[in-house]
Amino acid sequence: MTTRRESSDKVPETTNKKLPRRDFFKKSGTAVASAAILAGSLSACNFQAKNKSKTKKRLAMVIDLRKCYGCHSCSIACKSEFNVPLGVWRSWVKTIDKGKYPKVKRSFLPRLCNHCENPPCVSVCPTQASHRDDEKGLVDIHEERCIGCKMCIVACPYDARFSHPTKKVANKCDFCIHRVEKGVVPSCVNTCPSNARIFGDLNDPDSEVRKLVDTNKVQVLKPELDTEPSVFYIDLDEDAVGGHITT
Amino acid sequence: MFRLNRRNFIKVAASCGSILAGMGELSRVNALTGTLKLEEGGRDFSPDSGKERQAIPSACWQCVARDTILSYVEDGRLVKIEGNPASIRNRGKICAKGQAGINQVYDPDRVLYPMLRVGKRGEGKWKRISWDEALDLLVNGGDISGHSVKGLRNLLDEDHPEKFMFHYGRMIGSDSKIIKDNFLPAFGTNTIGNHTTICEGGKWVAQELIWGKHYDVNDVEHTNMILNFGCNFFETHTSHIQIAQRAINAMTERGVKLYTFDVRLSNTAAKSTEWIPIKPGSDLAVALAMCNVIMINELYDHDFIETWTTVTVEQLKEHLKRYTPEWAEQLSGVSASMIKSLAIEFANANPGTCISYRGPVAHYNGVEAERAFKMLDAICGYIDVKGGTCHGVEAKWKYPKVEPDKKPKQLNIIDGFPGDAAFPNHHVSHQVLKMIKDGRFGRPDIYMVYCYQPVYVNGECEENIQILKDEALVPFLVTVSPFYGETESLADLILPDVTYLERSSWDDMVCYDMIPEFYLRQPAVKPLGEARQFQDVAIELAKRLGLNLPFNSTEDFIKKSCEKSHVDYEYLKKHGVWHDPDEKPHYLSYTKTLTIEDYTGNNILFDSKTGVYWNWEKSKAGSIEEAVSKGYSDTENAYKGYIGQRIGDKVYAGFKPDKVNKSGKFEIYSELLKKKGFNPMPTWFPVPDIENKKDDELILSTFKVNVHTQSRTANNKWLSEINHDNSALINPITAGKRGIKNGDKIKIKSAVGEIIMKTRVTEGVVPDLIAISFHLGHWQYGRFASGRKSPFGADSDNDLKLKWWSEHGVNPNWLIRNRPDRIAGQWLMNDEIVTITKV
């Protein structure tokens, strides 16, 4: 279950992407052992057990759907930040209509990589390109290690991954880690007109995300899969939780 | 007045904290090493190299909202756009469209060089020429493919400068002042067209009749309840981000309720506390009934009505009593109980605000509906108060203005046919081509189109094409555009303009904090190819024609404007925005009292009929005697000399008139309308086309989605990737009656055209109506918009190979007649009647 790469592993020089000196790829055993998280309230104690190390981060996003009006500002922020080619998205918004005239409801579901604590994409990766980086606190991809086998794309239950059309490697949201490292929020958070996206370190008890998760009835997508997403929704439409998630 | 002193600078600097902080220590430390502290914005980095991208403060221009932005440049290329966090208007936020502006600059189908037609008009054959050749042709005339055309100098020699028509779609801020207040008057033409009546001209005229100048600002941030009639502000609005972000905050943080009346479940309706479906053209009835409920229940603001309006409480009660909720239910389909309860809730909200837009306004009774919405606000006392409906506050730039030797002349083709519109305050743009065809009122020899797609954005597309194709009707068609649109494809000469991201201008859009914000648009990158900002081209044209302008470049104009307005040019360049930190929100500006010095003087008259003090010399009266005998109301342009309104023993700033000789009162009763034969009080009248609709016919309604503007974004690949195809939305009951299933192709037919498109059977639209979005269905505008490469298209964009859609949607304008409403000349785009058949 556990994959590990020694800190002495060399980073290929062909990439421009900065990599940390020490990378741990670890699938959390505690997470697997923990009870399945049901759609609904995630109490603070659910997480306390896993917050063993205070030095490790768990980057997380809370999306307050009461504020989201489906404007796609996040979709384009992401598209431009990474010059994402046509046909694929790292961040997008799903719209769901239901009900009968005149009682019709529409809900919006912004989507991105869930940066799971138990990421199925990581466990299937044959080259450890896809990894959970516990120092940074997210699921990331070493592009130079990716052989483009697409196993992770199939394994992701959230359709969050795609094969980059020109780089021919797996690609997805990385929480704009290149901005976060420099002290700036991810691009989609920056642009959200209603401040519906709140980003931070879930392992920091004083962070806004931590407080929101502790004090609100938050939900995750497909909780029955025990993937333990790091993207939490406030006021998620239950049909969207249980329903088939597509782009 | 707005001079920047040291004290102010520190305050402003503090408000720009995130930008300034970006230069400091934070940029060098890995934020992940300690407790994670993140800035909201102001800096961006390359995901590949980690290098900080250069941030250039500027202003958006994808739509009229013109939010402030930061353009991020990496290795000389514009790569990212964010909101400018220093702005008090959009507060560091920007919509999807604004961020996709990058696609405008790097559209592979852009026009980058002056192009001269060489084949037949519309044939698509072009020759690249130099700017010198292009301007020589424009100034001196010449031969275009065997067809001889006059130049600007010929028109001056013939003393017919008015035969140069300049027709713009979007031209605001300094871009407009350089052209409309300088170049065109210096040349001598006032044949200047715009496009306001295909947007919201009716809304502005209604406001000019009732309280003065637009824009109206719904102070949603501080309100306690929002009534929304047919406005989709969560997707599109003249101040989209400003109103949307403030409304959603009010709703989620203070529990403010939003009720939306609409024929369609827009995202705004969906996000509302409740979507209230309403029959098309009946919003006026609901508003009148609500006013009646408020009056009957004694929930009105007695003092405001009696002091500031042109009616008494008793008159209002008497006028409104016929408009019962039960009567309105019959017309609108909105239940009487809902009308009653919302009216009472609104009057008790204190304050509430009533939003409206093109949904109700683009109907035959749209001006009356807008007057009724403003009456609803007024009787509750919600006018110009915090949390109510306020007069927009914008930066008042001062700028250089030419004093022309002669009074500019005008062809009478911009205000519609005689009798079309009683108050064409914003012209009647959709009639211009019809009037050119008609010919009785003259035709321009040179028709220059700027940032405007008349063929595509008006109704009756087929007729528009035929008129512009005809060299006898339009001898010389010049378009100024960065793109090869439908109109460019019919042009004789295309002058490549820059996009807004290569442009310099100052701007002044209203601020929802009710404090004027001065801001600048500056180039993120140098113009591509030989594109030139048209304002500089006009300055060169003036030089070639021997016309004197009080500035010698766009930059010079901006600098001089800054000097005159006491705004620090260098500060603006660095920060993009500036507002006076000592300024307080401009609420209740109408209650400001004037001193006796303000309203006394040799040229100032008191009009006892209206109570208005006015300076007759600013009107068109030839003498003081003429001004006295005609009085304020009947003297042409008397409103320009308006000073104040006497009420009791005081003189107030009042509701300052604009474009019509309204008094300084809030004119619920309008003497101006009465004189033109209309009802002076907001009064119900039905929409004839809807009233007479047969059972098998449907009403056509058009709408905007959140990722497109009306005609200028389909070429933006990131936006069209999200929305590139449209369907006709139809209610299941209406579809079922006709045997139409979801996805079926149907033919939609009107009096002037027919289109074929897919249906989407949806619960989110009222019965007996068909709704079609209007941004798509381009047949030019490049590959991302239409699939068609422009004659000048390059293969420079890798995404061309990855474009995965081949459908480009349908434009409903082929179906809609170009008809004006009788008061404002507003295009009756929501009154079209169609039939549908399954294909």
pLDDT of residue A237: 82
Q: Does B802 touch chain A (CB under 8 A)?
A: yes
Residues 273-292 of B with CB under 8 A from A: 275, 277
pLDDT of residue A238: 74
Name every chain A residue with its beta carbon within 8 A of the beta carbon of B706: 70-72
Name every chain A residue with its beta carbon within 8 A of the beta carbon of B46: 178
Check whether B532 has a pLDDT greater than 60: yes
Check whether A3 has a pLDDT greater than 90: no
Alpha carbon separation from B585 to B207, B214, B387, B515, B801 (Å, rounded): 21, 17, 12, 5, 51
Nearest CB partner across the interface for A185, out of B40, B81, B799: B40
Distance CA B183, CA B541 (A): 9
Has residue A206 been placed in a domain?
yes
B333's tokens: 């389909």
A89's tokens: 């998205």
Indicate the residue type of B740.
Answer: I
Q: Do A191 and B94 touch (CB under 8 A)?
A: yes
Residues 192-231 of A with CB under 8 A from B: 192-195, 199-201, 204, 206-207
Check whether B23 has a pLDDT greater than 90: no
B401 within 8 A of B551, measured Cβ to Cβ: no
Q: Does B718 touch chain A (CB under 8 A)?
A: yes
Q: Which string of DSSP letters, residue by residue, matches A64-127?
A: ETTT-----HHHHHHHHHTTPPTT--SSEEEEEEEEETTEEEEEEEEE-----SS-HHHHH-TT
pLDDT category of residue A163 using cuts at 50, 70 and 90: very high
**Mean pLDDT score, B737-755:** 97
DSSP label at B110?
Answer: B
Q: Do B719 and A83 touch (CB under 8 A)?
A: no
Identify the residue among B75, B248, B264, B709 best suited for mutation to test binding to A, counting A beta carbons within 10 A and taking the highest: B248
Has residue A20 been placed in a domain?
no
Has residue A197 been placed in a domain?
yes
The count of domains in chain A is 1
Has residue A6 been placed in a domain?
no
Report chain A's C-alpha Rg in angstroms.
18
Q: Which string of DSSP letters, residue by residue, matches B616-643?
A: GGGSS-SSHHHHHHHHHHHSTTGGGGEE
Pick left, alpha or beta for residue A142 (phi over 0 → left; psi -120 to 50 → alpha; otherwise beta): beta
Pick left, alpha or beta for residue A83 (phi over 0 → left; psi -120 to 50 → alpha; otherwise beta): left
User: How many Cβ atoms from other residues are within 10 Å of residue A30's Cβ?
Assistant: 12
B328's tokens: 């309105």
Distance CA B589, CA B514 (A): 11
- Per the structure, the complete domain to which residue A163 belongs is given by 35-241
Share of chain B above pLDDT 90, in %: 95
Has residue A27 been placed in a domain?
no
Q: For B169, phi and psi rounded to 5 degrees?
A: -100, -55
Nearest CB partner across the interface for A204, out of B36, B40, B48: B36
Alpha carbon separation from B273 to A87, B159, B255, B335, B340 (Å, rounded): 35, 61, 10, 17, 17
Residues 5-44 of A with CB under 8 A from B: 16-18
Which of B65, B691, B101 has its CA nearest to residue B394? B65
User: What's the pLDDT tens digit per position in B478-526?
Assistant: 999 999 999 999 999 999 999 999 999 999 999 999 999 999 999 999 9
CATH number of the domain to which A207 belongs: 3.30.70.20
B769's tokens: 């109506």
pLDDT of residue B153: 98
Check whether A11 has a pLDDT greater than 50: no
Mean pLDDT of chain A: 81
Nearest CB partner across the interface for B50, out of A102, A178, A206: A178
Pick left, alpha or beta for residue A235 (phi over 0 → left; psi -120 to 50 → alpha; otherwise beta): left
Distance CA A10, CA B390 (A): 64
A39 within 8 A of A219, measured Cβ to Cβ: yes
B610's tokens: 């209206």
Distance CA B423, CA B443 (A): 23
Q: Do A69 and B31 touch (CB under 8 A)?
A: no
Residues 167-186 of A with CB under 8 A from B: 176, 178-185
Tokens 């053209």 — which residue?
B281
pLDDT of residue A27: 28
Share of chain B above pLDDT 70, in %: 97
B115-117/B126-128 β-pairing: antiparallel
Distance CA A66, CA A79 (A): 24
Q: Does B346 touch chain A (CB under 8 A)?
A: no
Identify the residue among B718, B723, B727 best suited for mutation to test binding to A, counting A beta carbons within 10 A and taking the highest: B718
User: What's the pLDDT tens digit per position in A12-42?
Assistant: 333 333 333 233 222 222 222 222 233 333 4
Q: Do B32 and A135 touch (CB under 8 A)?
A: yes
Indicate the residue type of B672.
Answer: L
pLDDT category of residue A66 using cuts at 50, 70 and 90: very high
Q: Do A187 and B27 touch (CB under 8 A)?
A: no
Residues 726-745 of B with CB under 8 A from A: 731-733
Residues 14-33 of B with CB under 8 A from A: 26-27, 29-32
**Mean pLDDT score, B560-564:** 98
Nearest CA in chain B to A101: B763
B523 within 8 A of B505, measured Cβ to Cβ: no
Distance CA B257, CA B247 (A): 10
Residues 52-91 of B with CB under 8 A from A: 52, 79-83
User: What's the pLDDT tens digit per position in B236-293?
Assistant: 999 999 999 999 999 999 999 999 999 999 999 999 999 999 999 999 999 999 999 9
pLDDT category of residue B299 using cuts at 50, 70 and 90: very high
Q: Do B32 and A86 touch (CB under 8 A)?
A: no
Q: How many residues does chain A have?
A: 247
pLDDT of residue A55: 64
Has residue A78 been placed in a domain?
yes
Residues 37-96 of A with CB under 8 A from B: 57, 59, 64, 66-67, 69-73, 75-77, 79-83, 85-87
Has residue A16 been placed in a domain?
no
Inter-chain CB pairs, A–B, below 8 Å: 194
All residues at 6 or more sequence positions from B818 whose CB lies less than 8 Å from its CB, including other chains:
B430, B431, B433, B434, B458, B459, B460, B463, B827
Mean pLDDT of chain B: 96
Nearest CB partner across the interface for A67, out of B37, B92, B248: B248
Torsion of CA B361, B367, B368, B374, to 10 degrees: 80
Which of B17, B120, B5 has its CA nearest to residue B566? B5
The domains of chain B, with CATH numbers, are 115-199+401-504+531-554 (3.40.50.740), 201-391 (3.40.228.10), 589-667 (no CATH), 688-838 (2.40.40.20)
Nearest CB partner across the interface for B47, out of A82, A100, A193: A82
Q: Do A71 and B731 touch (CB under 8 A)?
A: no
Higher pLDDT, B219 or A44: B219
Has residue A46 been placed in a domain?
yes
Which of B100, B72, B20, B27 has its CA nearest to residue A178? B27
User: What's the pLDDT tens digit per position in B573-616?
Assistant: 999 999 999 999 999 999 999 999 999 999 999 999 999 999 99
Q: Do A99 and B275 touch (CB under 8 A)?
A: no
Q: Do A17 and B799 touch (CB under 8 A)?
A: no
Tokens 């859609």 — which residue?
B805
Identify the residue among A56, A57, A69, A134 best suited for mutation to test binding to B, counting B beta carbons within 10 A and taking the highest: A69
pLDDT category of residue B788 using cuts at 50, 70 and 90: very high
Identify the residue among B19, B38, B80, B260 best suited for mutation to test binding to A, counting A beta carbons within 10 A and taking the highest: B38
Identify the residue among A58, A61, A63, A101 best suited for mutation to test binding to B, counting B beta carbons within 10 A and taking the highest: A101
All residues at 6 or more sequence positions from A244 whose CB lies less than 8 Å from its CB, including other chains:
none
SS3 for B507?
strand
Tokens 């989407």 — which residue?
B760
Report chain B's C-alpha Rg in angstroms.
27
Share of chain A above pLDDT 90, in %: 72
pLDDT of residue A240: 61
Strand partners, B74: B77
Strand partners, A72: none
Distance CA B448, CA B458 (A): 17
First-last CA distance in chain A: 30
All residues at 6 or more sequence positions from B802 whose CB lies less than 8 Å from its CB, including other chains:
A85, A86, A87, A165
Nearest CB partner across the interface for A182, out of B27, B248, B271: B27
List the alpha helices (DSSP H) in A134-182.
Answer: 151-155, 177-180
User: What's the pLDDT tens digit per position in B639-696?
Assistant: 999 999 999 999 999 999 999 999 999 999 999 999 999 999 999 999 999 999 999 9
Chain B nearest CA to A143, separation (Å): 12
Distance CA A232, CA B614 (A): 62
B283-296 and B325-332 helices, crossing angle to 10°:
170
∠ CA B308-B311-B313 to the nearest 5 degrees?
Answer: 95
Nearest CB partner across the interface for A194, out of B43, B245, B721: B245
All residues at 6 or more sequence positions from B514 whose CB lies less than 8 Å from its CB, including other chains:
B217, B219, B390, B393, B585, B586, B587
Chain B nearest CA to A77, separation (Å): 7
Strand partners, B651: B646
| 3-state SS record for B19-87 | HHHCCCHHHHCCHHHCCCCCECCCCCECCCCCCECEEEEEECCCCCCCCEEEEEEECCEEEEEEECCCC
